[in-house]
């Protein structure tokens, strides 16, 4: 009788710890930009990247996947002012292999556009707000409910894209998760041990 209730409580503790670990260490998400339409001209793919972004929550540790025809499109990581102007004389980074994964390593606004002439002006541009990795952080998202046109409202946020923007928070989060998992396993083991000895 005592053994049985001990195992049951052990089981409950295990399930509770497992659920807690899922909440604490939510797994990184790969966001496929434009879903099936991919990264293309909005009129061609019937996709609106502003609406797409508004329907997703981006967190540090997640990534973006741009799928596109490299002979027609590319992906530029640009500053906010370049994004707004659809002008990219000096993109932060350029990608053109047709399948670009963009790791989101820091909090803040990120801006992307196609560098092929005219495409950005036709709406092939994407702005997202990256939130901290930990869930439950009360960071407001200025991107939600934004205009659907080609211009963002002025003064949405200070430009975050200049400067080295060190990203130790990412590895810090991973280490925190690993420690938490180890701790969880230890606790569950102790509970199971004691329940077996009852």
Q: What residues line the site for Cu ion (CB under 5 A)?
A: 73, 114, 116, 119, 124
Q: Which is nearer to Cu ion, 25 or 33 (CB)?
A: 33
Q: Which is nearer to Cu ion, 116 or 156 (CB)?
A: 116
Q: Which is nearer to Cu ion, 114 or 143 (CB)?
A: 114
Smallest gap from Cβ 60 to Cu ion, in A, equals 27
For residue 85, the Cα-to-chain-centroid distance in whole angstroms is 25
**CA pseudo-torsion sign 19, 21, 25, 30:** negative
Q: Angle at which helices 168-197 and 2-24 pack, to 10 degrees?
A: 180
Q: Which is nearer to Cu ion, 73 or 80 (CB)?
A: 73
Smallest gap from Cβ 151 to Cu ion, in A, equals 19
Beta-strand runs (E) in the chain: 30-32, 58-59, 63-67, 75-78, 93-95, 99-103, 108-113, 125-131
Q: Which is nearer to Cu ion, 6 or 121 (CB)?
A: 121
- Closest to 112 (Cα-Cα) out of 91, 97, 90: 91
Smallest gap from Cβ 118 to Cu ion, in A, equals 8
Q: Which is nearer to Cu ion, 58 or 66 (CB)?
A: 66
Smallest gap from Cβ 9 to Cu ion, in A, equals 59
Smallest gap from Cβ 141 to Cu ion, in A, equals 26
Q: What is the DSSP letter of 26?
A: P
Cα separation, 84 vs 70, whole angstroms? 23
Half-sphere exposure of 15 (CA within 13 A, CB side): 6
Smallest gap from Cβ 63 to Cu ion, in A, equals 20
- The H or E element that residue 27 is part of is none
**Quick check: 83 and 125 in contact, CB under 8 A?**
yes
């Amino acid at each position: 009788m005592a053994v049985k209730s001990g195992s049951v409580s052990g089981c409950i503790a295990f399930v509770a710890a497992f659920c807690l670990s899922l909440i604490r260490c939510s797994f990184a998400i790969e966001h496929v930009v434009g879903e099936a339409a991919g990264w293309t001209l909005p009129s061609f793919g019937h996709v609106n990247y502003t609406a797409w972004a508004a329907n997703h929550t981006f967190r540090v540790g997640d990534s973006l996947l741009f799928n596109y025809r490299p002979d027609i499109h590319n992906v530029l990581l640009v500053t906010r002012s370049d994004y707004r102007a659809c002008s990219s004389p000096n993109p932060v980074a350029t990608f053109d292999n047709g399948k670009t994964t963009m790791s989101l390593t820091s909090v803040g606004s990120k801006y992307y556009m196609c560098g092929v002439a005219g495409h950005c002006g036709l709406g092939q541009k994407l702005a997202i707000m990256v939130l901290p990795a930990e869930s439950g952080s009360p960071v407001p998202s200025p991107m939600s409910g934004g205009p659907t046109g080609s211009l963002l409202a002025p003064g949405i946020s200070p430009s975050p894209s200049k400067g080295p923007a060190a990203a130790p928070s990412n590895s810090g989060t991973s280490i925190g998760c690993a420690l938490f998992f180890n701790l969880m396993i230890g606790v569950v083991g102790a509970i199971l041990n004691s329940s077996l000895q009852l």
